[in-house]
Amino acid sequence: MIIVVLGPPGSGKGTRARLIGQMCQVPLIVMGDILRDAVSEGSEEGKRAKGYMERGELVPDDLVIGLLEEKLRRLNLKRGFVLDGFPRNLKQAEALDHILRDEGADIDLVLNVVVKDDVIVERLSLRRSCPHCGAIYHLKDKPPLKDEICDECGSRLIQRSDDREDVIRHRIMVYYKETKPVLDRYIKMGKVVEISGELMIDKIPDELKKILHERRLFPVDKLTIK
Ligand code: ADP
Ligand code: ZN
């Protein structure tokens, strides 16, 4: 079961990817998190990626493709995974196809999370995330139970340094220029289901479950979401 979640920054793709991973009990791969970890570890990859991320540019393809390959090597591809933040341009999409084809695997579903541009900026400025476990919060729509503390692991929440208005606008532009063609490619391949990024948070699990059932991707029925 291989699912790719696409959408502009702040669409809520991360929240949905995370839920699907939990529902289907498959690993979640978040390219942005892999990169942020590399930056905070100060690895060679992290040093190379840092400036691009701060400016809201795409990190070079060879770097992200290498990181993805490394991550996938440690997983059982046949069990599947959910991918958030990759592929972000056509070159990456072709690289992913290639990797999967070599393993006799294929993408089952591409979820495209749709949201209006003006919603994005407001939303990202209220976003907080857990640097430890990756949980995502929204100060208005999904606040943590305790101020500034992650419900799931107790770490102190952070605001990402690229969630600044000028960088957000640049990331949106990069999305339309680079990532939109990836979406069009998957639409032609018949893999895309579109979902709204503006649904109330408590309605999201049922919506996802319905889509997964329709595609025979078997989500677990009882899910405890914290
Ligand atoms: P968002 O989707 O909210 O912009 P992400 O956490 O997915 O945030 O990505 C943050 C940053 O990490 C991007 O702006 C970019 O610099 C870098 N990045 C993430 N995924 C990729 C990728 N597949 N290719 C190139 N750069 C990436
Ligand atoms: Zn946490």
39 lines ligand 1 (CB under 6 A): no
35 lines ligand 1 (CB under 6 A): yes
Average pLDDT over residues 41-49: 97
Cα distance between residue 5 and residue 130, in whole Å: 20
> What residues contact residue 219 under an 8 Å CB cut-off, 6+ apart?
20, 23, 24, 208, 209, 212, 213
At 112, phi and psi to the nearest 5? -110, 115
Average pLDDT over residues 137-159: 95
User: Quick one: residue 156, left, alpha or beta (phi over 0 = left, psi -120 to 50 = alpha)?
Assistant: beta
Residue 226, pLDDT score: 42
Helices 90-102/180-188 angle, 10° precision: 50
Residue 225, pLDDT score: 47
Using most ligand atoms within 8 A of CB, pick from 11, 15, 16, 31 the residue to mutate for ligand 1.
31
Least confident of 40-44, 122-126, 188-192, 217-221: 217-221
Residue 35 has pLDDT above 90, yes or no: yes
Quick one: pLDDT band at residue 144, thresholds 50, 70, 90? very high
* Residue pLDDT, tens place only, 55-82: 999 999 999 999 999 999 888 777 899 9
Q: How far is CA 9 from the centre of its chain?
A: 9
* Residue pLDDT, tens place only, 152-208: 999 999 998 899 888 999 999 999 999 999 999 999 999 999 999 998 888 999 999
Domains of the chain from N-terminus onward: 2-115+167-219 (3.40.50.300)
Residue 222, pLDDT score: 55
Helix (H) or strand (E) holding 137: strand 136-138
- H helix intervals, the chain: 13-24, 31-41, 44-55, 61-73, 90-102, 117-125, 165-174, 180-188, 204-214
Query: Which residues lie at CB < 5 A from ion ligand 2?
Result: 130, 132-133, 135, 150, 152-153, 155
Look up tokens 């600044």; give the residue: 164
Closest atom of ligand 1 to 88 CA is 23
Residue 220 has pLDDT above 70, yes or no: no
Cα distance between residue 92 and residue 95, in whole Å: 5
Residue 137 has pLDDT above 90, yes or no: yes
Cα distance between residue 110 and residue 96, in whole Å: 13
58 lines ligand 1 (CB under 6 A): yes
